[in-house]
Amino acid sequence: MISQIRPAIALLTIMTVLTGVAYPLAMTAVGQALFAHQANASLITRNGAVVGSEYVGQAFKRPEYFHGRPSAVDYDAASSGGTNLAPTNGELVDAVVERARQITMETGAARVPIDLVTSSASGLDPHISPESAYLQIGRVAVARGLPAQELRRMVDAHVESPLFGIFGAPAVNVLKLNLALDEWAPVETDATGSMNGANAER
């Protein structure tokens, strides 16, 4: 019996060291050496302070900024998730209709892109469609006193192509666009340099 237990314990110890210690450490080292930005949550900083991650959306609500998609979890990364409501669910229909009504009032648009009135499956989508960004140019231009044509060129510069040109659809990272917007035409910020302003929602 001892002759069977001994190799079993030896194998368990070896595999534990290999898969539980050596492999994770090796992957961590490779990640930090070759993909440091991605391995550290793809964080974006401004003036030395972290303002977010390029892969986690935020709730921008001030008129001076481009807005992202609605979120069923209020962009809480600790509770990622969607509404889990069927397309025919009355609660979802009412929410979509109300969002579309508000956007129409803000922009005067007769048709609103679907991504501006529906949340993503994760509730953390950092992107919107180019159409959704273009739709908001008028509001942002008025709020900041900027020429709409210049804003359109800025949006054009932030349109990301599909992965390898075939996977997914063109998209605009809302945080990156708003940061670029602040660099070009800053608005009032609080003492931390955030985009919130004093006790205001973005």
Q: How far apart are the first and last CA of the chain?
A: 68
Phi-psi region of 5 (alpha: psi -120 to 50; beta: other; left: phi over 0): alpha
DSSP labels, 50-97:
EEEETTS-----STTS------TTTT-GGG-------TT-HHHHHHHH
Nearest to 58 by CA among 169, 196, 199: 196
pLDDT of residue 195: 58
Low-confidence ranges of the chain (pLDDT < 70): 36-37, 40-41, 189-202
Query: What local confidence, expressed as pLDDT, does residue 153 receive?
Result: 96
pLDDT at 2: 77
pLDDT at 193: 46
**Residues whose CB falls within 8 Å of the CB of residue 48, separated by 6 or more in sequence, listed in order:** none
Gap between the Cα atoms of 80 and 178, Å rounded: 23
pTM summary value = 0.78
- pLDDT at 190 (0 to 100): 43
Q: What are the residues facing 163 on neighbouring strands?
A: 167
SS3 11: helix
- For residue 81, the model assigns a pLDDT of 87
Looking at residue 193, what DSSP letter applies?
-
Contact 116, 103 (CB under 8 A): yes
* pLDDT value of residue 172: 97
